[in-house]
Amino acid sequence: MKARIRERALQLGFDVFGAAPAVPPPHGKAFVDWLRAGRHAGMAYLERRAAERLDPGRVLPGAKSVLAVGCAYGSTEAERTEAAANEGIVARYARRLDYHKIMGKRLKELADFVQELGGPGCRARAYVDTGPILEREYAWLAGLGFIGKNTQLIHPRFGNWLLLGVVLTTLEIEPERPLPNRCGSCRRCLDACPTGALRKPFELDATRCAAYWTIEARDGIPRELRGSFGNRLFGCDACLEACPWNRRSGPGALFGPETQWSSGRLDCAELLRLEDEAFRVRFRGTPLLRPKRRGLVRNACVALGNVGGASALASLEELANSEDETLAEHARWAAARIRDRLGAP
């Protein structure tokens, strides 16, 4: 039965598949301690449904198995991330259309297949980073990879570049064996983190994470962190790019080079001038809608403050007069940084 489900998963375009028992996550206590320490920053939704994340039976009563899948989104070519004047970098996963929709449709088909295979009474429910499930934990239990010191799942072939989804089901499927950690003494990811968000191996502090601040946060970015962001406009791949397990990675079946909508580099000065409707049209169907126009403009100010040139000053000075004090403050900060670099008054 598992072989048939695996075959169907691969037919649907998923690159890897595995099964895990629907047991409480082995690192559940560490998750609770992480929440209590406030390391989740402003992501209150993680705390609100913590009880469900610690027991898949609360999400799907009678659940016996968790089927985990992954879609690779690596590249066969080197990704350029060095700063260029006025240019901001978008995290690699967001250079394609929103994976939630692309994977979600296919994962629902897989869940339907499992229900049909299981017969009357069998239930299955699919999630792609949207439900109260610790996907990474079950992907590890399902043998899709090991959890690295950067807190990311690392697949032996695809490295860090793997988007995850799960299907909870009342059907009992023989589980895989989880892989042991293979990081060894390597600490490249910890050393690469620009803000020190990886406090120690296997622990991420979201209150310092550039990805959190440029994607999830709705408030102003702390001044003490802004200079460390470099030209990161949306997300941060620093700890991912540093991992040596990526040396053999490449694109998968669903997310190959032909599916890219962006090179990953956007003109930040141009973004400052986008109106709401133009923003929605330009980024429709992409992950960049997540922070809304306000969040992306805020991020663009920070990137310009770090790598912007004289040509960005006019747009920043105009934004500095905005009624939105958060955006105005970020614009003033960025303009002052550019003038300091140029030696201008």
Active site members: 129
Query: What are the CA-CA distances from residue 239 to residues 77, 151, 160, 189, 202 (Å)?
Result: 18, 9, 9, 4, 12
Q: Which residues pair with 18 in a beta bridge?
A: 68
DSSP for residue 253: S
Residue 117: Cβ-neighbour burial (10 angstroms; 0-12, 13-18, 19+): middle
Q: Does the CA dihedral 127-128-132-136 come out positive or negative?
A: positive
What's the CA gap between 135 and 156, in Å, rounded? Answer: 18
Distance from C-alpha of 72 to C-alpha of 158, rounded to nearest angstrom:
6
Residue 26, strand partner residues = none
How far apart CA 97 and CA 99 sit, in angstroms, is 6
The DSSP code sequence of 39-70 is: TTTT-THHHHTHHHHT-HHHHSTT--EEEEEE
Rounded CA Rg of the chain: 21
Q: Are 107 and 101 in contact (CB under 8 A)?
A: no
Residue whose structure tokens are 């429910």: 125
Residue labelled with tokens 């670099």: 341
